[in-house]
Amino acid sequence: MRQATTVGASGQEWIVEAYGCDEAALTDLAKLRGLFADLVRELALCPVGDAVWHQFPHTGGVTGLWLLAESHLACHTFPEYQSICLNVFCCQPRAEWDFTEYLKRTLGAETVNVRRMERPYADERESRQLPKLRRAN
C-alpha cells in the first residue's frame, strides 16, 4: 500500500573537496578520526557502530566510512594529490557547518569546494498527485 509523503520532505548532502592539503595530515588516522568526531558532535549525528578505516600501504591515503542513523559520513584522502573528498548525507536537515575553515585549519587546505544538495524523498510531481486525506466522520 502506498503512503502519502510530506511535500518538501528531504535530506541534505554535502560533497566537499579540499586541495593543497598537508600530505602528512592526509595520512594521519588520528586527525581524520577527529574530523569525523567533530562532524558527528557538531551536526548532532548518531553513529551506528564504529567508523571503518582503511589505509593504503603505498600512498598512505585513507578511506573512512561511518554508518549513521541519518545515513553516512565518508572520506577519501589522496596525499599524492594533496586532496581529500568528503561526503556527509543526512536524512534530516542540519545546520550549516564551516567545512572551509575547518579543513584549512586542520588539514592545511588551500582551496575548499563545498556543494550542498537537497535530497527530496519523493518526486514533487508525484507528491502533488497523491489523494487528499479525509477526516473520518
Q: What is the pLDDT of residue 118?
A: 79
pLDDT at 121 exceeding the cut of 90 = no
72 is catalytic: no
91 is catalytic: yes
CA atoms within 13 A on the CB side of 99: 21
Q: To which residue does cell 556527509 refer? A: 88
Q: Which residues contact 2 (CB under 8 A, 6 or more apart)?
A: 130
What pLDDT was estimated at residue 125? 59
- The catalytic position among 21, 75, 76, 90 is 76
Task: Report, as an integer, the average pLDDT of 41-65.
Answer: 96
Of the candidates 24, 31, 102, the residue with the CA atom closest to the CA atom of residue 64:
31
Per-residue model confidence as pLDDT tens digits over 35-47 = 999 999 999 999 9
Whole-number pLDDT of residue 8: 54
